[in-house]
Amino acid sequence: MARGGMCYRLACIVRLDGEALADQTIAKYLNELSILTMLRIQGQASRIEIARYLSVTPATVTRLVNSLIERGLVRDIELSPNPGRPANREPGRPATSVALNTDGAFFFGVEVGVDVLRFALLDLAATVVDSSEMPFHDRMSPDQVAGEIARRVGKLRRDPIYRDSLKGVGIAFPGIVRSDGFVVNLPIVGWRNVDFPALLSEAIDLPLFIENDANAGAFGCVYTDPSLPNTCSLFLKLDAGCGGAVVVDGRLLRGANGTAGEFGHLRLSEDGPLCGCGNRGCLESRIGLSAIAQQFLETSDLSGIELTQLPEHIVEAARGGDGRAIETIDSFVHWLVLGLVSLVNLYNPSVVFLGGPLAKLAEAAIDRISEGIGRGIVTGIPAPTLMLSTLGSYEGAIGAASIAHHHTFDISRVGIIAGR
């Protein structure tokens, strides 16, 4: 969902100088997005560097930068004088660079879990400035969750720091979510067919972006660390469910209705444990938290918090020589490698991220998993780099806020149809 956003399809690079433009307002908007994206990814830059980056004149850059300064999105930074040049030889005004004003905009992200709500606040540089969580014991209804999100957003809007600079809200859900934010099925929390945007439309007067939690986690990993390659990255969230996502050239691969990435339901056999989707032999039925608990404890009747803490307990037990813990990790590695081999063969990613609570098990056997993928994929396909998510337990909330940031201030989303 991209309520309040503007999206355009372009067949060529738009410039403000040179050929006449049908709509200079659009060109100005796109060039401003390009400047903000450049500064977020590359850091501060001189006006000359920006002009070269955009292929426009210095005068055009001056107009664009002045407009962004007036809106509080960028600022000038005075550079230190060159120590090798006498001070009386500095002509004109002091040399400056342009940098993001990190306090110029903020984005609020929420992840809805089985028994926890997690919150993250990102600034204009897509840096986490605050995070918190709200554990609860009884499952919350859609109305209760919407009410708590509205309360948190309202509190931010009453704070003078964020009153005018909070620009968007992202929400991540653990299940199937349509492109328009409609919640189709969240089996883990027991929701079906919930028009969640309608629950918040009157309470929150900000652009609202609703995503699957794996999509959010995947996007957040790439977006908040521009140093990582983003040509094609694959993310697998190892939790009670096993959702996934693919990011191609900075954009989520969504499918026709926005529900792509249900990697947990990749069928590895025709038999095996019954999955929550109704089929047997799904990846999730082999490596989801319930499956791991069943193998290690012979029961999956645990609270959400107990399930989340279980992987770390298994790793500690395995290090102490516990045979059942070692068998559990071995089984997890076996099925995870089978699933990842198929996914790597399909998508040819350069990086595979593993997130969620069960990433603790993956971390304990990361070399075995990487070697297994290398042996199993089709000969000639380069093996991807295998990485653990760098966002920790807040990856869903950070990712949701990142998606809101992306739709508001990032040039890479131009060309995407509004609402996708």
For the chain, the domains span: 104-219+396-413, 229-389
Q: Residues 79, 95: contact at Cβ < 8 Å?
A: yes
Of 156-160, 325-329, 361-365, 413-417, the poorest mean pLDDT is in 413-417
Each residue's pLDDT tens digit, 229-249: 768 999 998 988 888 889 888
* 250 has a pLDDT exceeding 70: yes
What is d(CA 31, CA 48) in angstroms, rounded to the nearest whole number? 15
What local confidence, expressed as pLDDT, does residue 9 receive?
33
Of 131-135, 174-178, 255-259, 295-299, the poorest mean pLDDT is in 255-259
Using pLDDT thresholds of 50, 70 and 90, give the confidence band for residue 94: low
Angle in degrees, CA 188, 193, 199, rounded to 5: 100
What local confidence, expressed as pLDDT, does residue 360 receive?
94
In the sheet where 176-177 sits, what is the strand order?
176-177, 183-186, 191-194
Tell me the whole-structure pTM to 2 decimals: 0.81
Q: What Cα–Cα distance (Å) separates residue 62 from each residue in 46, 69, 125, 201, 367?
A: 11, 10, 22, 38, 51
Each residue's pLDDT tens digit, 289-337: 999 999 999 888 887 778 888 999 999 999 999 999 999 999 999 999 9
229-389 and 104-219+396-413 share a CATH fold: yes
Quick one: what percent of the chain has pLDDT higher than 70?
89
**What homologous superfamily does CATH list for 104-219+396-413?**
ATPase, nucleotide binding domain (3.30.420.40)
Each residue's pLDDT tens digit, 112-159: 988 889 999 999 999 999 999 998 877 889 999 999 999 999 999 999
Q: What Cα–Cα distance (Å) separates residue 29 from each residue in 16, 329, 417?
A: 10, 51, 17
CATH number of the domain at 229-389, out of 1.10.10.10, 3.40.50.1170, 3.40.30.10, 3.30.420.40? 3.30.420.40
DSSP 138-188: SPPPHHHHHHHHHHHHHHHHHSTTTTTTEEEEEEEESSEE-TTS-EEEETT
* 20 has a pLDDT exceeding 80: no
| Higher local confidence (pLDDT), 94 or 413 | 413
